[in-house]
Amino acid sequence: MKYLKAAVKETQRLYPSAVVNSRILDEDIEIKGYNVPKGTYIMMNSYTASRDPKIFDNPDEFQPERWLQNEKKYHPFASLPFGHGTRMCVGRRLAQQEMYLLLSELIRNFRLVPTKPNVGSICGLTIHPESSVEPKLIDRRE
Ligand code: HEM
């Protein structure tokens, strides 16, 4: 389960469903020396932050192990697939529970074999696969 959670986290780092998160500032703030006044509409691009080589080593590589080595290695805001704060995703726990349940049951019972070499992704309002993934499911009891 530890590895599965790390794999889900790593998938969401590389492909955050909500690419951009936004806020209207309710107070003046300073970001890296820039004064940003109250009322400004600001956007945070999760996709870019998640692939920043200054934050993640080998940022484009799928490495679930990075989340198992040393949890404190990355800033807790380095990857925020469910947002943060009072308006963060209210369905986070439900979504995570469903992903862990579905994946653990699938993997326990089947071997998943890819049938397509590489499925790209499309970045719109959300990120989604450019075509269906269609893995072959082979019953582990066979
Ligand atoms: C993998 C699945 C999901 C992802 C990646 C996701 C991601 C997000 C993100 C990034 C936000 C914006 C958070 C922010 O502005 O800080 C959000 C908001 C929200 N999500 Fe999700 N979500 C998921 C599943 C769900 C589910 C299953 C539900 C409901 C059962 C849900 C309900 C909501 C609601 C109601 C908000 C608005 C919260 C607010 O504005 O106060 N989400 N989600």
27-38 confidence digits (pLDDT tens): 999 999 999 999
Would the pTM count as exceeding 0.85? Answer: yes
Q: In this structure, which amino acid lies at residue 30?
A: E
d(CA 18, ligand 1 centre) in Å: 9
pLDDT on residue 41: 97
- Reference 95, options 5, 21, 2; nearest CA is 5
Q: Quick one: the chain helix, strand, coil %, rounded to 5?
A: 30, 25, 45
43-102 confidence digits (pLDDT tens): 999 899 999 999 999 999 999 999 998 766 888 888 999 999 999 999 999 999 999 999
Residue position matching structure tokens 């992903």: 99
Q: Please check whether residue 113 is in contact with residue 139, taking contact to mean a CB–CB distance below 8 angstroms.
A: no
Is 33 in a helix, a strand, or coil?
coil
Decide whether any atom of ligand 1 lies within 6 Å of the 94 Cβ.
yes
> Phi/psi at 46 (nearest 5 deg)?
-65, -35
Is 142 in a helix, a strand, or coil?
coil
In a mutational test of the pocket of ligand 1, which residue from 15, 17, 89 has the highest number of ligand atoms less than 8 Å from its CB?
Answer: 89
